[in-house]
Amino acid sequence: MNRTPKILSRTVVLLGAISLFTDVASEMLYPVMPLYLESIGFSAAGIGLLEGIATATAGLCKGFFGQWSDRLGRRVPFVQLGYGISAVAKPLMAVFTVPVWVLFARTAERLGKGIRTGARDALLSGEARPETRARVFGFHRAMDTTGAAIGPVLALLFLWAYPGQYRLLFLLAGVPGILALAATLLLRERAVVPSQLASRPGLLQFVRYFRTGNRDYRRLLIGLTAFALINSSDLFLLLLLKELGLSDTALIGWYIFYNLVYALAAYPFGSLADRFGPKRVFIGGLLIFAVVYGLLPLATAPWMFAVLFALYGIYAAATEGNAKAWISHVSPQSEMGTATGAYGAFESLAALGASSAAGLVWLVYGPGILFGGTAVLTLGVVGYFSTLRR
């Protein structure tokens, strides 16, 4: 009797666990990163410069190392190296407090993300069948986001017991990072035919791939990048809550709630995308995003925040993993590292521009115009996606 292959293979489960541990480490630090940097002498401008350099580094490296992975036909070494660098770099930010050293450590941490992302996504795609890819990516996002919910809780508990001990928290964040690195040693990969896209991958090779990739991929990438250009950092959501009078504890609480909803909804929405197609589910997610951005500045009561942050978690579940599943449907498996790496590069650089522009709009026109304008522009992106083939 023929048995249906498992949707969640050993490799998929391992990659999910690795991402969970890594995000526990990252999100233990996310809520306190600005506080720590200020405590060692960083100004607001310095924090912005630090994050800008780190974001740009990760974005450029995603395309480069994704193509290198395709060229060699290997995935696991890039996954191991990327998670390894990130695991070591997090606690190093607390070893020395000289700003140049902190810049180096933070950039190295983001470099690790850039090295691993394309190869990891290609490994996930290779473990799935066409009819299960959205569920595989949805499961991975669920595990990743579960870590993102656990990390801030651990940080809050630690700082409640040891107020102001930021350096110790950074050192402790190395523990789940090391567990993630150890789990990468258990990964195995299937044979992949090396791609002949280029004799030598270049740092900006992802730009060339935009021209050489197939038409469906190019059109999809244009839409994804357009949305990234208007989708500013979640930091602005937290700043809006602060503007509306919520306490710091409430901010982190709503952030945790959003991540919990996202984690619970990611796999079910992957199932919906496998059944009805990634296009329909992705567009539905964008419509929810527009509703949240349009209504959040008007929220006044806790029940309104609960509804809107739950919807925001559903939007993320419907779009983030699903975007990569959609890419895997329009790209050859031998080029998946390049295809997802190029998407990651364009998305990161576009997000950097989006957050910079959002800060300017907030300063000049206020949060209401920023959020309302983003909602309207999102509807335009929805119109573009509706023209793409299923």
CA distance 356 to 363: 11
Structure tokens at 123: 């490994």
Q: To the nearest whole percent, how much of the chain has pLDDT over 90?
A: 26
CA distance 107 to 83: 14
Q: Could you tell me the CA-to-CA distances from 281 to 129, 134, 266 in Å, in that order?
A: 19, 10, 12
Q: Packing angle between helix 215-230 and helix 302-330, nearest 10 degrees?
A: 160
Residue pair 114/61 in contact (Cβ under 8 Å)? The answer is yes
Task: Of 68, 89, 87, 85, give the one whose Cα is nearest residue 341.
Answer: 68
For the ranges 57-61, 150-154, 215-219, 259-263, the lowest mean pLDDT is seen at 57-61
Residue 254 φ then ψ, to 5°? -65, -35
CA distance 102 to 109: 10
The DSSP 8-state label assigned to residue 79 in this structure reads: H
pLDDT at 180 over 60: yes
CA dihedral (99, 100, 101, 107) positive or negative:
positive
CA distance 140 to 260: 14
Residue pair 114/58 in contact (Cβ under 8 Å)? The answer is yes
Q: Could you tell me the CA-to-CA distances from 144 to 22, 148, 279 in Å, in that order?
A: 8, 7, 23
Amino acid, res. 197:
L
Q: To the nearest whole percent, how much of the chain has pLDDT over 70?
A: 90
Tell me: the pLDDT tens digits for 308-342? 999 999 999 999 888 888 888 888 877 888 888 88
- Residue 41 pLDDT class (50, 70, 90 cuts): confident
CA distance 86 to 173: 11
CA dihedral 109, 114, 116, 120 (to 10 degrees): 130
pLDDT at 34 over 80: no
How many CB atoms sit inside 10 A of residue 383's CB? 10
- Residue 182 pLDDT class (50, 70, 90 cuts): very high
Opening angle at CA 284, ends 327 and 320, nearest 5? 40
Amino acid, res. 128:
A
pLDDT of residue 43: 64
Tell me: the pLDDT tens digits for 185-213? 999 887 666 666 544 556 666 677 777 77
CA distance 12 to 143: 11
The DSSP 8-state label assigned to residue 297 in this structure reads: G
Radius of gyration of the chain (CA): 20
Contacts of 321 (CB under 8 A, 6+ apart): 134, 137, 138, 140, 141, 266, 270
Structure tokens at 211: 């021209």
- Residue range 13-21: average pLDDT? 94
For domain 10-187+204-385, give the CATH superfamily. MFS general substrate transporter like domains (1.20.1250.20)
Domain extent listing, the chain: 10-187+204-385
Structure tokens at 52: 């800008």
Opening angle at CA 65, ends 61 and 71, nearest 5? 155
The DSSP 8-state label assigned to residue 200 in this structure reads: S
CA of residue 362 relative to chain centroid, distance = 24
pLDDT of residue 1: 40
**Helix ranges (DSSP H) in the chain:** 10-29, 33-39, 44-72, 76-95, 99-126, 133-161, 166-172, 174-184, 205-212, 215-230, 235-243, 248-276, 278-295, 302-330, 336-365, 367-385
- Residue 4 pLDDT class (50, 70, 90 cuts): very low
Structure tokens at 199: 């004799």
CA dihedral (379, 383, 388, 390) positive or negative:
positive
